[in-house]
Amino acid sequence: MASSISPTLSASAPSPALAPNAAGATHIKAVRHFNRFYTQRIGILAPYLGSEFSLTEVRVLYELAHRDQPTASELGRDLALDAGYLSRILRRFEGKGWLARVPSIADARQSLLKLTPLGHKVFAPLQQQSNDEAAALLAGLSPADQQNLVAAMNTVQRLLAPPNQPAATRTIILRDPKPGDMGWVVQQHGEIYAREYGWNSEFEALVADIAGKYLKNFRPDCEKCWIAELDGERVGAVFVVRKSATVAQLRMLILTPEARGLGLGGRLTDECIAFARSKGYKKMQLWTNSCLDAARAIYAKRGFQLIKSEPYHGFGHDLVGETWELRF
């Protein structure tokens, strides 16, 4: 929403020409009233997320964390930011060691932007704080009212989308697991890895064992699962489990094919990192396979380091298992 503070026209100033669908005074007043209510309700007028950053700076950090190496011009266009203002923000981030620039192969005049591991470390607590504040905002509402609120927000976004841009039609939410979700997680691992990699039922059995132990031994103070939904349908999941008092383990990251290319794998991984840091873990580990290029790219982008590689025979194939680690 735009600011609720509008310039005042002098008595001698000519009234602007009204468009065919110009809003009446009652509707204008209602929009301004809602702006004042909402900005106060979500704390925009206070120091943003209790940090040293402005709202704009946090938004730039968010885009850098969730996009795959955008250019400055892309960020400026999509965030509607003045080029000079954005340039100053990016220079500050770069000076702090949070941002790296990579020459673009497609256009030598452009640089691709990406957060460094230090940049992701700075962003993670902001993401967790934002999640916590959103959760607190929703906590007083029933599940039905939460759904109504989300639907209303989608309507606002659709109606106010700029005419030269397609309206957002896809809704992504991350939620806690519900009964039946663990069976879905096992099923998706079994089907997707059989179809795309030819792995046999040994892998599905492994995932079922991990999911069963998670349910049986779940510790809500230090473990968490996220189920991702796209337009109301389950499309992904990820888990953080306790390996030791100081080590968290990222497990069972999965995305269905229709959810790929939306940055959701990175978003799920970021949630795990933010959660682990908030719970006082000193590092996070994960086990994967060398053939899983997309997942490995997500981990590497966030500062995970490959610390162990070992050939083995499993799931009907000769594979190379890998252990990755991220220190906080």
Confidence of residue 68 (pLDDT cuts 50, 70, 90): confident
Q: How many domains does the chain have?
A: 2
Task: Tell me the CATH number at 318.
Answer: 3.40.630.30
What pLDDT, on a 0 to 100 scale, did the predictor assign at position 163?
Answer: 65
Whether residue 107 is predicted with pLDDT greater than 80 in this model: the reply is no
What is the pLDDT, as a whole number, of residue 200? Answer: 97
Flag whether 40 is in a domain.
Answer: no
Q: What is the pLDDT of residues 140-189, one digit of tens each?
A: 899 889 888 888 887 887 788 766 554 445 678 889 999 999 999 999 99
Domain match, 211 and 87 both: no
Above pLDDT 90, what percent of the chain? Answer: 51
Q: Does 232 or 13 have the greater pLDDT score? A: 232
**What is the distance between the terminal CA atoms of the chain, rounded to a whole angstrom?**
36
- pLDDT value at position 2? 36
Q: State the residue for tokens 């030791």.
A: 244
Higher pLDDT, 165 or 323: 323
Checking if the pLDDT of 104 tops 80, the result is no
Place of tokens 């005419």: 163
Nearest CA to 278 out of 328, 243, 237 is that of 328
Q: Quick one: pLDDT band at residue 249, thresholds 50, 70, 90?
A: very high
18 class by beta-carbon count within 10 Å (0-12 exposed, 13-18 middle, 19+ buried)? exposed
Domain final position from 137, 159, 181: 159
Give how far Cα 223 sits from Cα of 77, 269, 280, Å: 39, 14, 12
Residue ranges making up the domain that contains 213: 172-327
Q: Looking at this protein, which amino acid is placed at residue 108?
A: A
Looking at the fold, whether 221 and 144 belong to one and the same domain comes out as no
In a domain, 34, yes or no: no
Measured in degrees and rounded to the nearest 5, phi and psi for residue 123 equal -75, -35
Measured CA to CA, the distance from residue 307 to residue 300 in angstroms comes to: 12
| Of the residues 126, 159, 192, the one at which a domain ends | 159
253 and 297, same structural domain?
yes
Q: What is the pLDDT of residue 20?
A: 55
Alpha-carbon span 43 to 39, nearest angstrom: 6
Clarify whether residues 155 and 204 are in a common domain. no
Q: Do 255 and 276 reside in the same domain of the chain?
A: yes
Same domain, 133 and 181: no
The answer to whether 292 touches 92, Cβ cutoff 8 Å, is no
- pLDDT top residue among 208 and 104: 208
- CATH number of the domain where residue 106 is located: 1.10.10.10
- Which stretch of DSSP H or E encloses residue 255? strand 247-255
Residue 253 sits in the same domain as residue 123? no
pLDDT, greater one: 149 or 210: 210
Residue 234 main-chain phi, psi, to 5 deg: -65, 130
> Angle, to 10 degrees, between the axis of helix 83-95 and the axis of helix 72-79?
130
Last residue of a domain, one of 159, 192, 213: 159
Q: Is residue 25 part of a domain?
A: no
User: Closest Cα to residue 44, out of 2, 6, 88?
Assistant: 2
**Cβ-based neighbour number of residue 198 at 10 Å:** 10
Q: Give me the mean pLDDT over the 85-105 stretch.
A: 90
Select the highest-mean-pLDDT range: 36-45, 48-57, 166-175, 181-190.
Answer: 181-190
pLDDT of residue 313: 97
pTM, two decimals, is: 0.61
> What is the DSSP code string of 44-66?
TTSSGGGSSS-HHHHHHHHHHHH
